[in-house]
């Protein structure tokens, strides 16, 4: 997993051309003006999901991971906590759903990170993550999740 701010995105261009496209999309798009929904960047290889929601209590949530896509989660406005851990020997509490590309894990995160406006997190298939968690009280967040195919 990687946590940083968009101004430092060029540090991660070495991850490949798909990441460059994803970061260029974040930097060059008026994300605040976009409605909730799915937006193609490069077909099924790279796409963005815009979402707005109220953050929730961690006690009711589970960590997730993906197999087909890497997540780049970027906060447009608001702030939240994201729980993390490394996928090792944990057993899924919800088996992998190939269509939706996720599985859930009941273990509690090893740690939490605070993401604010202009922050991003990258979660690879080996990274368990629990996004959308409130800090002190529920708060409105607008987030872009860019899905980058592993293939």
Q: Does residue 48 sit in helix, strand or coil?
A: strand
Which structural domain, as residue segments, surrounds residue 139? 2-149
Reported pTM:
0.95
* Number of domains into which the chain is organized: 1
Query: pLDDT digit of tens for each residue in the chain (151 aa)?
Result: 999 999 999 999 999 999 999 999 999 999 999 999 999 999 999 999 999 999 999 999 999 999 999 999 999 999 999 999 999 999 999 999 999 999 999 999 999 999 999 999 999 999 999 999 999 999 999 999 999 999 8
- At 8, which CATH number? 2.60.120.370
DSSP per-residue letters across 52-118: EEE-B-GGG--EEE-SSEEEEEEEEESEEEEEEEE-SSPPPSEEEETTTTEEEE-SPPSEEEEEETT
For residue 114, the model assigns a pLDDT of 98
């Amino acid at each position: 997993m990687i946590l940083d701010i968009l101004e430092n995105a060029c540090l991660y261009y070495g991850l490949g051309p798909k990441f460059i496209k994803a970061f260029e999309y974040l930097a060059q798009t008026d994300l605040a003006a976009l409605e909730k929904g799915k937006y193609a960047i490069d077909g099924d290889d790279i796409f963005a999901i815009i979402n707005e929601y109220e953050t929730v209590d961690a006690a009711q949530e589970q960590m997730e991971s993906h197999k087909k896509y890497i997540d780049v989660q970027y906060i447009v406005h608001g702030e939240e906590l994201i729980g993390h851990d490394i996928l090792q020997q944990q057993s899924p509490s919800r088996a992998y759903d190939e269509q939706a590309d996720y599985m859930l894990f009941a273990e509690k995160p090893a740690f939490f990170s605070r993401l604010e406006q202009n922050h991003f997190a990258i979660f690879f298939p080996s990274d368990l993550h629990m996004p959308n968690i409130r800090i002190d009280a529920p708060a409105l967040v607008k987030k872009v999740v860019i899905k980058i195919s592993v293939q």
